[in-house]
Chain A
């Protein structure tokens, strides 16, 4: 073990990094869902086979989502610096990083939600309509609850993706485990710091994945 790694553990840098990674991921994913979930619902509902087909709206939203998703994250971080300045007052640090993560993740989440909702059995939707449900009631009482397990799975995948992106925070002066690996490991030539940082990230990913899948399975009433 290098002296550097020992110091990083002892002065709490690693622990702070873990905390920063966790909160950036959690907060960004949460905000991304606040934006992406309604967006996904609109994408699903306005589709040509959806509840209320609105082709122009569907195409416009779909286009914006596709454009945002086409940005390589590293370029998105640079391109949207001015946006971060407007929103959080700075183009640097963890705050700015959260803005970047949300911009990257929200369209991703929207597509995830859209695809989960579209898995809903069309027959069940027809049955709800035949029972006199309004479009809004069908979304709230059929689409969302019926695709809950799939939505949770989607959230897990989204969170893991956001976590991966968050490792690039160092680029704009943010923190987290990725920044530790780059600053203390790569730039100062301590290979073991890189590996330890990666190992912790792997553990966090595993934890999110396992926990999320467990919740998804528990909520799904189709299997048992």
Chain B
């Protein structure tokens, strides 16, 4: 388990102090794939680096399995780091070493015997599907292959945790997908707890169990991916989950409804029922639903052309059908 307790990080610059993280509290349970999403400059990279002390928090505690790593001795810290593999957006492979030498690198640092290391390297390369590239140099590999090598290298010392800093941001769609499924496999097979930093919703939605939304160095929202996605509470989360939703919420001054599909309600045809059974004509201004783990999540925003009476009819109908919704009049956000 990784716990961040009231973590603050301030950078001293020539133009004064800049707060990168403010009062961050987070708990990552063992075996989870925990996503941290935010816009660029939100402090995500600093946050993940505070876990393995690549960045030292200005104040606060970082507990890994109960041990405060901010107080660890340099020697102990190196051991802790071996228990938390890390992969990066830029892969960060040693360019002058072959694929197998790269994967062997952390084993050399851990003083693993040469023969055992060779065996482990073989296992890892077959895990990431690059057995035949063992003698290649990074410059001869594609981006996806480089990230596979980086994953193999990060897993070499059998870490309990895997920290991923924008691991798929430099990759195209298909490669992203294959890297994500590899990470998911690693999580499922070896029970490695994964922390994924990203600015892409699709990454979170594809493999994460939980997500924390970070904005201006503060945690805006934490929860199960399904909950945060179906009903984002914070403005940042709304903007990240559904950028167009925010725009649509500000349009028009009539009665507005936002229906929330959180994977629990039935897939009944609400809108047509509303029109047929209640005679209410709706004007759909926004709709976005997605399938997450086989359940429907998303939002549907509509406005009413009628007045108070239609509003009440609609509201009662939605309540009666157990549909989660938010209703508002005018330009207020839903």
Contact = CB atoms under 8 A, between A and B. Distances in A.
A102 to B, nearest CB: 29
Interface stretch (B87-95, B230-238, B260-268, B277-285): B87-95
A221 B105 contact: no
Interface stretch (A4-12, A29-37, A140-148, A183-191): A140-148
Interface stretch (A40-48, A125-133, A158-166, A202-210): A125-133
Contacts of A149: 96
A49 to B, nearest CB: 14
Interface stretch (B78-86, B177-185, B309-317): B78-86
A223 interface: yes
Contacts of A222: 95-96, 137, 139
A128 B86 CA distance: 10
A224 interface: yes
B106 interface: yes
Nearest to B91: A123
Contact of A221 (B54, B74, B79, B96): B96
Contacts of A219: 96
Nearest to A223: B139
A142 B94 contact: yes
Interface string B97-119: 11000000110111000000000
A132 B54 CA distance: 10
B88 A123 contact: yes
A146 B109 contact: no
Contacts of B153: 131
**Interface bin, chain B:** 35 or more
B303 interface: no
Interface string B164-185: 0000000000000000000000
Contacts of B322: none
A131 B137 contact: no
A132 B139 contact: no
B140 interface: yes
B97 A145 contact: yes
B52 interface: yes
A123 B109 contact: no
A126 B92 CA distance: 8
Contact of B54 (A124, A126, A134, A148): A126
A188 B157 CA distance: 73
A130 B81 contact: yes
B108 A141 contact: yes
Nearest to A126: B54
Contacts of A221: 95-98, 137-139
Interface string B30-42: 0000000000000
Contact of B109 (A132, A148, A223): A132
Contacts of B77: 132
A146 B106 contact: no
B94 A124 contact: yes
Contact of A146 (B54, B86, B96): B96
A131 B92 contact: no
A115 to B, nearest CB: 18
A131 B106 contact: yes
A145 B153 CA distance: 18
20 contacts: A121-B90, A121-B95, A126-B88, A127-B92, A129-B54, A129-B81, A130-B84, A131-B106, A131-B154, A132-B80, A132-B106, A134-B74, A134-B78, A141-B105, A141-B109, A142-B94, A145-B96, A146-B94, A224-B137, A224-B140
Interface of B: 52, 54, 74, 77-82, 84-86, 88, 90, 92-98, 105-106, 108-110, 137-140, 150, 153-154, 157, 163
Q: Which 8 A-B pairs have the closest CB atoms?
A: A127-B92, A132-B78, A132-B81, A123-B92, A130-B86, A221-B137, A131-B106, A132-B82
